[in-house]
Amino acid sequence: MTHILHIDASARPGIAGTDNHGSHSRHLSHRFVHQWQLSCPQDTVTYRDIGQNPPSIINHDWIASAFTPEERLEPWMKEALAESDHLVDELIAADIVVIGTPLYNFGMPAALKAWIDQVVRAGRTVEFDDTNPIDPFVPKLTDRERHAVVLTARGGVNMAPGEEMAHMNHLEPHLATALGFIGITRLHYIAIEGQEVGGELLAASVAEAVGKVESLVGELQVAFQDAPSPEPA
């Protein structure tokens, strides 16, 4: 059985095509999860709307606690890390992380960056190898195959890798670096472009993205069906 962690990061609470001023990234992420559950209703989903309920920004207490060995954590330190522990547990439990996010000012929304800061954790999702000073970071989420599906909406156009405006898009590269750092390297990207232009250009981009979402759902479901089952303990 596959478990999906579904994250929405848009500040817009509604869904484009359904609600006034709705979110195009939410449209894609909800379409992905809906299509998945139509074919695999037994699979489970954890939903987290960080666009409306953003994670806490890390502070001094969080940093002091996160870099203290577990056996030396004081009660206030455990409290400072409680939210992070919960978010990390959700991430570890997931086989697929579906992230619906807009591109804001060349990068990710602040709420998504706050989530990244909470889940990239020494001792939980990444380890340090003191014997390798050149590259001491060891990702911990390599125990099984995990995928991340990044579904984005952009105001501009031609911002995909290799296109004319790609240099202004730091969202997907940032996510790829952060997720790869903790061991999630199977990433899939689908984007809607042209929100600022609107009209036929946006409509065509939406239609194309929805089609890609539905195709990706099918591809991943086949991949998970064909994946070997873990050996019993």
Placement of tokens 């689908």 in the chain: 190
Do the strands 96-102 and 126-128 form a parallel or antiparallel pair, or are they unpaired?
unpaired
| Distances, alpha carbon 168 to alpha carbons 29, 81, 154, 172, in Å | 23, 34, 11, 11
Q: What is the DSSP string of 159-213?
A: -STTSTTGGG--HHHHHHHHHHHHT--EEEEEEE--TTT-HHHHHHHHHHHHHHH
Residue 189 is encoded by which pair of tokens? 């990207």
Do the strands 147-153 and 96-102 form a parallel or antiparallel pair, or are they unpaired?
parallel
pLDDT (0 to 100) of residue 133: 85
pLDDT (0 to 100) of residue 229: 59
Is the separation of the CB atoms in 187 and 176 below 8 Å?
A: yes
pLDDT (0 to 100) of residue 56: 98
Torsion of CA 57, 61, 67, 71, to 10 degrees: -130
What residues are designated binding site? Answer: 10, 23-25
pLDDT (0 to 100) of residue 228: 64
Residue 51 is encoded by which pair of tokens? 């666009």
Q: Which residues of the chain have pLDDT under 70?
A: 228-233
What residues are designated binding site for FMN? Answer: 10, 23-25
Is the separation of the CB atoms in 80 and 86 below 8 Å?
A: no
The structural domains of the chain, ordered by start, are 3-226 (3.40.50.360)
pLDDT (0 to 100) of residue 232: 45
pLDDT (0 to 100) of residue 225: 86
Is the separation of the CB atoms in 138 and 128 below 8 Å?
A: yes
pLDDT (0 to 100) of residue 102: 98
